[in-house]
Amino acid sequence: MKKILILNGPNLNLLGKREPGVYGNQSFEDYFETLKGNFPEIELHYFQSNHEGALIDKIHEVGFTFDGIIINAGGFSHTSVALADALSSVTTPAVEVHISNIHAREAFRHHSYITSRSKGMICGLGLRGYELAVRYF
């Protein structure tokens, strides 16, 4: 059975409450239950933190044993060389996901340090981007 980690960064714990016009009305926890139901043949794990070091620790924890990491690093996507380095340091491949289209937002969101360390990026398709990333793996 494949093991995939979904790793969400800062402020994504507020999905369903935070800017629903951009991020929708559903909490990630509710969406994750649906996602697990859609992929019973895959062992899906979920971790969210607002702390960069906790995200790095989780990458190190699973980065040699899991089959995939789906990462939405939130605001850290645009600032964290350390998260990018963590992804480069492990053998588990990653796919970057963003709920909103980061290229249609503020200019500082157009660059992600995570992208070059990922197999690909899915952005702007809402929560469905996570499903597409699971399908990739």
Q: Which of 23, 31, 46, 130 is catalytic?
A: 23
Does the annotation mark 51 as catalytic?
Answer: no
| Residue 99 known to bind ligand | yes
| Residue 85 known to bind ligand | yes
Report which of 41, 43, 32, 42 is spatially closest to residue 8, judged by C-alpha positions.
Answer: 32
Q: Which of 31, 98, 113, 130 is catalytic?
A: 98
Local structure of residue 2 (DSSP, 8 states): E
| Residue 30 known to bind ligand | no
Q: Which residues of 58-73 are buried (b: 16+ CB within 10 A; e: fewer)?
A: bbeebbeebebbbbbb
| Residue 51 known to bind ligand | no
- Confirm if 122 and 98 have CB atoms less than 8 A apart: yes
Does the annotation mark 31 as catalytic?
Answer: no
Report which of 94, 102, 91 is spatially closest to residue 130, judged by C-alpha positions.
Answer: 94
Q: Catalytic residues, which ones?
A: 23, 98
Q: Which residues are annotated as a binding site for substrate?
A: 72, 78, 85, 99-100, 109
